């Protein structure tokens, strides 16, 4: 008995030491190879399921969607899906890109969806769920596959993602005639959305509208609050090993700073039980926006009670969302 008890405690000790070594080597490795942390933030190499043909959205239960590519920069090709309002699904059968382009001018509001990290425009179920909800509600939806993600070429970076989304916005504006075009960012994509809105503001043509779903204040604070970051909350040098490493990669995604400069109508959506981006970050952003604008009637904050269980990804399931969106988007057409 005594002997087996002894080997048991040796095993526990060995396991403990092994875990400790792993725990310590993660931050050290990230600091030695700062690019790794950027890979984790974007998580673009996570392309499962692998054998999906993004060029054929009709095979993926989106029968009124066309796939096309833009070239935001020499050598970079990014994939885009355009889904027309559900009511046009029969007309859309067998149609090519010209028909879809022309449909953008039909007065229905257009939403450019900028997804969060990881996966592709299809591979994560909540993205397809959101596309279907928006299409059923009567909107056009354009989903961008940032560079380095899915079938898009190139490597992701904050500037790169922003360039891709800005290019798509200009492309849509060139085809949408009077229809309002709204940027919709989710999670990591909220930083892309406000970067683009800020650029448009600087160019003198503010975005028609901006919707931020589960936004963070800036990527540095988000990493500190992320469940994976929390594991290292008490690690000596947390700032040095993680947060400063984020900065080394030129990742800022400053929603808080950007929102001070943007005048576009803005709606924030956030579930109180979000475990990935804490709800209080939206409250902080809302406060910043109210302080920085003289006209507050174009700012909305929609929170969703934790009892609904939407968490980080499932706000699209809310049965009232279509009418909330129409209330926000309808007036933009008359501006």
Give the residue numbers marked as catalytic: 187, 274, 312
User: 57: helix, coil or strand?
Assistant: helix
Task: Print burial letters for 51-75: b (CB count within 10 Å at least 16), e (below 16).
Answer: ebebeebeebebebbbbbebebeee
Q: Is 184 exposed, middle or buried (0-12, 13-18, 19+ CB in 10 A)?
A: buried
Does 86 participate in binding ligand NAG (rule CB under 6 A)? yes
DSSP state letter for 275:
S
Q: What are phi and psi of 78, to 5 degrees?
A: -120, 140
Does 322 participate in binding ligand NAG (rule CB under 6 A)? no
Nearest residue to ligand NAG on Cβ basis: 63
Residue 86 or 101 having the CB closest to ligand NAG: 86
Closest CB 87 distance from ligand NAG, rounded Å: 9
Closest CB 64 distance from ligand NAG, rounded Å: 6
- 262 Cβ contact partners less than 8 Å away, ≥ 6 residues apart: 194, 197, 198, 201, 206, 207, 210
- 16 Cβ contact partners less than 8 Å away, ≥ 6 residues apart: none
Residue 89 or 279 having the CB closest to ligand NAG: 89
Residue 133 or 259 having the CB closest to ligand NAG: 133
Does 87 participate in binding ligand NAG (rule CB under 6 A)? no
Q: How far apart are CA 172 and CA 110, in angstroms?
A: 8
Q: Total number of residues binding ligand NAG (CB under 6 A)?
A: 4
DSSP state letter for 169:
H
Of 43, 89, 238, 326, which lies in the binding site for ligand NAG, with binding defined by CB under 6 A? 89
Residue 125 or 155 having the CB closest to ligand NAG: 125
Q: x/- binding map, residues 38-77, to ligand NAG, per CB under 6 A?
A: -------------------------xx-------------
Residue 43 or 89 having the CB closest to ligand NAG: 89
Q: Binding residues for ligand NAG, per CB under 6 A?
A: 63-64, 86, 89
């Amino acid at each position: 008995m005594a002997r087996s008890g002894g080997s048991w405690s040796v095993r526990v000790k060995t396991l403990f030491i092994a875990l400790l070594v792993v725990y310590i080597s993660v931050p050290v490795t990230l600091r030695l190879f700062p690019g790794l942390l950027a890979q984790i933030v974007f998580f673009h190499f996570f392309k499962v399921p692998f054998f999906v043909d993004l060029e054929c959205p009709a095979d993926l239960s989106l029968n009124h969607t066309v796939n096309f590519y833009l070239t935001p920069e020499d050598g970079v090709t990014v994939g885009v899906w355009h889904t027309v309002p559900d009511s046009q699904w029969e007309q859309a059968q067998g149609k090519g890109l010209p028909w879809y382009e022309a449909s953008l001018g039909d007065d229905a509001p257009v939403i450019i969806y900028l997804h969060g990290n990881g996966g592709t425009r299809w591979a994560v179920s909540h993205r397809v769920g959101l596309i279907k909800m928006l299409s059923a509600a009567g909107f056009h939806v354009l989903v961008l596959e940032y560079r380095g993600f899915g079938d898009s070429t190139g490597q992701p970076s904050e500037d790169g993602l922003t360039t891709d989304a800005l290019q798509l916005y200009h492309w849509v504006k060139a085809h949408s005639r009077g229809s309002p075009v709204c940027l919709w960012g989710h999670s990591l994509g909220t930083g892309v959305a406000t970067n683009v809105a800020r650029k448009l503001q600087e160019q003198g043509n503010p975005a028609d509208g901006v919707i931020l779903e589960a936004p963070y204040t800036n990527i540095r604070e988000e990493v500190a609050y992320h469940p994976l970051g929390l594991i290292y909350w008490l690690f000596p040098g947390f700032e040095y090993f993680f947060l400063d490493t984020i900065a080394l990669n030129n990742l800022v995604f400053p929603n808080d700073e950007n929102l001070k400069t943007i005048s576009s109508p803005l709606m924030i959506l956030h579930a109180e039980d979000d475990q990935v981006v804490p709800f209080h970050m939206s409250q902080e952003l809302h406060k910043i926006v109210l302080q920085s604008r003289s006209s507050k009637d174009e700012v909305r904050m929609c929170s969703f009670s934790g009892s609904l269980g939407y968490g980080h990804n499932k706000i699209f399931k809310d049965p009232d969302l279509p009418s909330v969106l129409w209330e926000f988007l309808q007036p933009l057409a008359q501006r």
